[in-house]
Amino acid sequence: MSKVHFDIQAIRQQFPFLSNDTSMVYLDSAATTQKPKCVIDAISHYYTKQNANVHRGTHSLTAQATTKFEQARECVQHFINAHSSKEIIWTRGATEAINLIAQTYARSTLQAGDEILVGEMEHHANIVPWQIVAEQTGAKVVKVPMTSNCQWDMQAYQTLLSAKTKIVAAAHITNVTATRQPIEKIIELAHKIGAIAVIDGAQGIVHESIDVQALGCDFYIFSGHKLYAPTGVGVLYGKQSILESMPVWHGGGKMVEKVSFEQTSYSALPGKFEAGTPNVAGAIALATAIEWLNQFDKQQIEAHYKQLLNQLVIGLNKIDGLRIVGLQPNASVVSFTLQLDGEDIHHNDIATLLDQQGIAVRSGHHCAHPLMDALGINGTVRVSLGIYNNDKDIDMLLVGLNKAIALL
């Protein structure tokens, strides 16, 4: 399929939030992206023209909705090159996907003394579920430290790997520093000692073409809302053999084959993990977002990000007392701290002064307390880009930031 030429002005016009003469400069896409009109239209079309439950009943509306719902699953399968659509489980997002793994695979296989290796830079969603299941099973969560450059410490990782290691959990790209973790090597080394690898792709799916078969990971998860799709829908990819061996989690309609008070049997994949009425509109809209993204050349998108990041980093480096956290960013996120006259400036103060100028950034710990503790800071200002940002946005941020500093 031929690709559409990357035209930033044409792209911006496809986002109602930006095309409605908004004065807001939106630089918080790592938290959630704005949505293109085609995605919004897909949601509206479902609820106005196709609204029906799926896998239930025999009338034509439910048949149409079921077809669209399962076509969306196949779209995701092809997007990440899963072997089968049975390996695609709909969830409410990346957080629920990790909890599902923890409460099914991990809880049913871990024993006292087993270890779960988790990176120090992980989002809380890739730490807390493992802590919960460790308490339930007697297993132990072991931190894989980061280097001084905010990288996964491979030397420490290899030292920590042992026969006790049963699960390794790592982000593809981190949400604070945009560090691209060496997931290929992380997965390879985990498999060598018989552990499984869980990759949090919430940020990585935005920037790289994912081939889960080539990657070899046991699980790969991501959320729709960071990929220009709605909130409340996400994906858990798991190898079919592992998913089939896992016990069910939520009980209810659809995930059952036959229910009686004597014995209940469960549905085959993927239904066994999809109890109740799913987010049908969200799944269809996620497929729409993927199809919309697929029309562009990924290299052109990444070149656009790189150009904006270079502009941003050059501008930030001119500000006295400002420190970018981690290595020079290579995705679409820059986090920084600021000191004036030797005093730390609170990240919330900077973000508030920017907001008063119509510039939206994120401030805080970004659901990464262990990372902040390791750096000895209580938070950062985070600037994160979307496909729709342009050089004017960066200029306005830099001007706004200098105005904010003048007021501090």
Residues catalogued as catalytic:
367
For residues 62 and 56, the answer to whether their CB atoms sit within 8 Å is: yes
Cβ(35)–Cβ(228) below 8 Å = yes
The kind and range of the H/E element at 270 are: none
Strand order in the sheet with 140-144: 88-91, 234-238, 219-223, 196-200, 165-171, 115-119, 140-144
Are 361 and 213 spatial neighbours (Cβ–Cβ below 8 Å)? no
- Measured in degrees and rounded to the nearest 5, phi and psi for residue 375 equal -85, -10
Residue with tokens 């100028």: 357
In angstroms, rounded to a whole number, what is the distance separating the alpha carbons of residues 136 and 128? 13
β-strand 380-384 against 322-324: which pairing, if any? unpaired
Separation between Cα atoms, residue 352 and residue 347, nearest integer Å: 9
Please say whether the beta carbons of 360 and 353 come within 8 A. no
| Cis peptide bond prior to 145, omega within 30° of 0 | no
